[in-house]
Amino acid sequence: MLLSSFDPSMLSPAFADLSEGEAFQQLAFQLLRCRPEYTSLREYTTPGVDGCIDLEQVIHGERTVVECKKIGKDGIERAKAYWKDVFAKLERNLEPTDAPKLAQFQPWYDDTPPIRAYVYCISSTLANPAQRGKLRRQIAADIERLAERPHLAHLAGLEVRIIHWPDLDEIL
């Protein structure tokens, strides 16, 4: 392990003007693109409301979306709390059946190409595989609740992946 945790001060000066959250998102983008399953990632760098999608790729007619979260404290409780906030935004903005409350959430409504994988990428470290599995199951269950809404039924069976700091550090 090169870095025991995400440390923005270790980044290139090109990141100096970014918030820690923006810096983590850009670092995750650059590192994930080094992995063969994420070579087509695109980044959305606009500040503010982003529709709970920071990175996206479409391969073979299926979309993968990535939400990056800079979390200051390791462990599952903080990671779950951040997810709870993300999910609350999704619930609130995906309620209308015809279109989202905010245009940034439109990709969740689109079934061409459908979102088939959701990646929750966090700057913190989960203690063990059991914590990763617990967090993944929580996110999958929450997204399944969204898929119970007829206008979001295409989200059923979405694959959920968790990437935490040690996964990114391995790429470094």
Domains of the chain by residue range: 8-171
pLDDT digits (tens, 9 = 90+) for 2-44: 556 676 666 666 666 778 888 889 899 999 999 999 999 999 8
pLDDT digits (tens, 9 = 90+) for 59-115: 999 999 999 999 989 999 999 999 999 999 999 999 988 889 899 999 999 988 999
pTM across the whole model: 0.91
Separation CA 108–CA 44 (nearest Å): 15
Q: Which CATH number fits domain 8-171: 3.40.91, 3.40.50, 2.60.40, 2.60.120?
A: 3.40.91
**Average pLDDT value for residue range 153-169:** 96
Instruction: Report the pLDDT value the prediction gives residue 1, as an integer from 0 to 100.
Output: 46
Helix (H, G, I), strand (E, B) or coil at 146: helix
Average of per-residue pLDDT values in the chain: 90
pLDDT of residue 172: 85
Answer for the pair 114, 154: CB distance below 8 angstroms, yes or no.
Answer: yes
Q: What is the band of 118 on the pLDDT scale with cuts at 50, 70, 90?
A: very high
Answer whether 95's CB lies under 8 Å from 148's CB.
no
